[in-house]
Amino acid sequence: MDTSKAQAASLYDFTVQDINGKEVSLADFKGKVVIVLNVASKCGLTPQYDGLEKFYEAHKDKGLVILGFPANNFMGQEPGSNEQIATFCRTTYGVSFPMFSKVSVKGNDMAPLYQYLTAATGEEVTWNFQKFIVNREGKVVKSVSPRTLVTEPEVLKFIEGLL
């Protein structure tokens, strides 16, 4: 495990590939409230895409961005290629928030970004759709369990407080 990434100063220290394979610096999201989550197309929680997209549309003009990272770490629930995932998200749920290339969110091959997120919160990723909330300064400030929706009052109040 690359511990230097787990010790990164902020979200902005990472460069990742978007779902089309283009390098993206997460510093591009400086000054925004960011929700980073691992997603899957064949999970019982997959319908969360609908609510996440609506939440993104309602809050993006206030400085919110959602970053989706497909991961196949849980019961093979994200088996598709990046192209298949992008098509599924766009056509099934109308996803317009940024999506990234498939990563590993646990284990020996955990992506450096997820090493950082889990080290910052002290919480491992337990399932698909775990949400990490990052403040406008790029610091991870909260982890939200996979089954908890961003629209639940406690989470909504927390995010709106950051906006």
Residue 62's CB is within 10 A of a number of other CB atoms, namely: 12
Q: Compute CA distances 28 → 13, 24, 44, 129, 141, whole Å.
A: 11, 8, 32, 23, 19
| Type of residue at 145 | S
pLDDT value at 4 more than 80: no
What's the gap between Cα 90 and its chain centre?
A: 16
Residues contacting 86, CB < 8 A, separation 6+: 19, 20, 99
Rounded mean pLDDT, 82-107: 97
Strand partners, 71: 103
| CA–CA–CA angle 7, 107, 43 (5° rounding) | 115
Query: Could you list the active site residues?
Result: 43
Strand partners, 36: 67, 132
Token pair for 117: 């997120």
pLDDT value at 2 more than 70: no
Rounded mean pLDDT, 59-82: 97
**The model's pTM:** 0.95
Q: What is the pLDDT of residue 6?
A: 53
Can you list the pairs that 143-151 forms with residues at least 24 positions away whose Cβ atoms lie under 8 Å? Answer: 143/117, 146/45, 147/45, 149/48, 149/51, 150/35, 150/51, 150/52, 150/55, 151/51, 151/55
pLDDT value at 126 more than 90: yes
Which numeric CATH code is attached to 3-162?
3.40.30.10
Boundaries of every domain in the chain: 3-162
